[in-house]
Structure formats: structure tokens, C-alpha cells
């Protein structure tokens, strides 16, 4: 396998050109390209360049409307809604973002829901963005169904991650917690399926409800929730916020994020932002004490530490990319 080294700016530029060539407007492509670059920067391959051919295919087949113009509304002082118009989630989120931040600072708390949407990339990046605004952020997004209820076989909810962004009081994030309801992200199983590798024990069951190590069988069956019924419960919480509250379709009715079948998935997101100053004068000190209590323990690691480490390396050294993948991406530009 031939590997290439790319700078982060080159990654962003390649994604931007590819999406525009596939049918996206410049503004929409710019939001997605930045998200892709950030994923590569933080070592999250599954949401980086690997996804670009999928984005391009979905633009061409109509699964996502590259020319969509999001519509932002503020029906109440602390409520923001965004209709993504079956376009990418990223530009819809960007359009509503300043309204959400303003509402949270004005009211002490505000929520923004997005519907008629699509994959929003790395959820933790949205939570980090809220934290960098000095706010406490809780973000949720649902996905096409891939997890069956305990003792069931038919998927009802998606991997349905949530992310928490905690401000450090200095314009950054003290903690970024980003985890899904499943034992592993579905994108990891998709990646292993493409590469012909087995998955790990305890990740998924086949359509007959039996444990499997075959990635293709896992994709036909059900992923397993982390922590059994507790993981399913966390995924259900996300489903209610990101799907039911936003007015998006249920995970069980959403078309897949992979492949070209089914039309726009019309999924949704929910972002809640709290201004700590509206609730407590000692928030920052409490966070500082909590972080120290974790970090001072030998071998313990704060959530998000791995991403920060990868970020520090890639910002200097760039990223190593499969040359064949770059060839597939560049084919959309020619």
C-alpha cells in the first residue's frame, strides 16, 4: 500500500474541491471540508478522508442536497430550530450557531435542534466549539437504526452518540467526552468490512441474533450497546432529543448513511448550551478540582486526551494517507 503525507490544509482543500465537483455549493462544501480536516487532525480516520467518496456519491445520487439552504428559526427566546433541507448537517449547524450562542448567553440556557439533516461528523467537535465559547455543551445526534433493544434482534435506534464539552475558563475545553450507545462506532465496523478484517468479540450479532466476528454479517444484524441495557437506555435518550424533539425521522425509518439507496436520511441533532455563570459562581474552580483529581492518578486519562495528543502530532507532521484512497477521491475532480 502506497502512503502519502498530506498537510491539514491540503486535506481540507482536497475535500472542498471534491465536494464542489460532485455538486455542493461552495458554502456547504466549506463546512464539510473543515469537519473532515478536523477529524484527520485528531486521528479519527473513520470521519475523515475515508468519508469523502461517500459524501461525493451521496451528492451525485441525491441522498444529500449539496445546494440546500438551511432555514433558521427562533420560536422562543431559548429555542432555535434549523431545517437542513435534506442537505449536509454541517452548514445547517453553522447557520444556527451564532443564534444558539446568543440565546444561551442571554437566557443562561438554550437549545438548538436540526432536522431534515445528515451525518454531522465528529460530534465532539461541536461540543468543543460550545466549550470554546465559554459555555457548557451537551450535544446529541441520532443515526439510522443499527442497535436492537436488549433481547431483541431488529435494530430500533442508531449508535446515537452524545458529547459533552466543558469550558476551561480560558477559551478552551477542559473535558471533551464523546461516546456512542454502541460498544464501538459503526464506522469502525464499516472500515473493517471494506478492509476485509474481522471485528472484535462482543461488538455485534448477526441477523439470527448470534455473536459474530464477520463485519459484513454484523452490518446485516445488530451492533451491541455498551453496557447492555444501560447503553441502550443512553441511546434511547439521544433518540428522543435528536430525533423526536427535533422533528426528524426516527432512526428505524432513516435511510443508511452508507450506500446510495433510500434517499435523504432526514435525521437530526440537538445541541444544548449552558452559561455556567447563570447557575454557579464556582463552576470553573469545581471543574479545575475535578480535572486534577482525575489527572493526578497514575495511568488515568481525561476524556479527549487521545485526540489532543494526535492533534499535536498531525499539526506538525501532517497525516499519512492511503494513496489509493486519494486516487478515488481525486477521480471525482477529473
Give the residue numbers marked as catalytic. Answer: 46-47, 188
What is the Cα–Cα distance from 186 to 208, expressed in whole angstroms?
Answer: 19
Closest by CA to 168, choosing from 134, 127, 139, is 134
| Helix (H) or strand (E) segment spanning residue 270 | strand 267-274
- For 140, phi then psi, to 5°, come to -140, 150
For residue 57 the three cell numbers come to 456519491
What is the Cα–Cα distance from 145 to 302, expressed in whole angstroms?
Answer: 30
Beta strands 79-83 and 109-117 are parallel
| Helix (H) or strand (E) segment spanning residue 5 | strand 3-6
Cβ–Cβ under 8 Å, residues 221 and 207: yes
- Residue 109 makes CB contacts below 8 A (sequence gap 6+) with 78, 272, 273, 274, 275, 278
Ordered DSSP codes for 69-127: --EEEEEETTEEEEE-TTS-HHHHHHHHHHHHHHHHHHHSEEEEEEEEE---S-HHHHH
Amino acid at each position: 500500500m502506497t502512503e502519502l503525507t498530506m498537510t491539514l490544509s491540503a486535506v481540507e482543500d482536497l475535500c472542498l474541491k471534491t465536494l464542489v465537483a460532485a455538486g455542493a455549493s461552495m458554502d456547504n462544501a466549506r463546512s464539510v471540508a473543515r469537519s473532515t480536516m478536523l477529524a484527520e487532525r485528531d486521528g479519527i480516520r473513520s470521519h475523515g478522508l475515508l468519508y469523502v467518496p461517500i459524501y461525493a456519491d451521496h451528492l451525485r445520487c441525491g441522498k444529500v442536497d449539496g445546494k440546500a439552504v438551511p432555514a433558521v428559526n427562533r420560536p422562543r427566546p431559548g429555542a432555535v430550530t434549523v431545517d437542513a433541507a435534506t442537505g449536509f448537517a454541517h452548514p445547517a449547524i453553522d447557520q444556527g450557531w451564532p443564534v444558539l450562542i446568543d440565546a444561551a448567553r442571554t437566557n443562561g440556557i438554550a437549545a438548538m435542534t436540526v432536522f431534515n439533516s445528515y451525518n454531522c461528523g465528529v460530534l465532539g467537535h461541536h461540543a468543543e466549539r460550545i466549550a470554546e465559547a465559554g459555555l457548557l455543551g451537551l450535544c446529541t445526534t441520532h443515526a439510522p437504526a443499527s442497535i436492537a433493544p436488549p433481547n431483541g434482534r431488529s435494530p430500533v435506534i442508531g449508535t446515537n452518540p452524545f458529547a459533552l464539552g466543558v469550558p476551561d475558563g480560558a477559551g478552551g475545553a477542559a473535558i471533551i467526552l464523546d461516546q456512542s450507545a454502541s460498544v464501538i462506532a459503526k464506522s469502525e465496523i464499516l472500515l473493517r468490512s471494506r478492509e476485509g478484517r474481522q471485528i472484535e468479540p462482543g461488538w455485534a450479532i448477526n441477523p439470527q441474533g448470534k455473536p459474530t466476528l464477520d463485519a459484513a454479517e454484523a452490518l446485516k444484524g445488530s451492533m451491541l450497546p455498551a453496557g447492555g441495557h444501560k447503553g441502550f437506555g443512553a441511546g434511547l435518550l439521544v433518540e428522543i432529543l435528536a430525533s423526536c424533539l427535533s422533528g426528524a425521522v426516527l432512526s428505524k425509518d432513516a435511510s443508511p448513511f452508507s450506500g446510495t439507496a433510500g434517499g435523504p436520511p432526514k435525521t437530526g441533532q440537538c445541541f444544548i448550551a449552558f452559561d455556567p455563570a447563570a447557575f454557579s459562581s464556582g463552576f470553573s474552580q469545581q471543574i479545575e478540582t475535578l480535572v486534577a483529581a482525575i489527572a493526578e492518578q497514575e495511568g488515568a486519562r481525561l476524556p479527549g486526551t487521545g485526540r489532543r495528543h494526535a492533534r499535536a502530532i498531525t499539526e506538525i507532521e501532517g497525516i499519512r494517507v492511503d494513496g489509493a484512497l486519494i486516487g478515488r477521491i481525486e477521480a471525482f475532480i477529473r
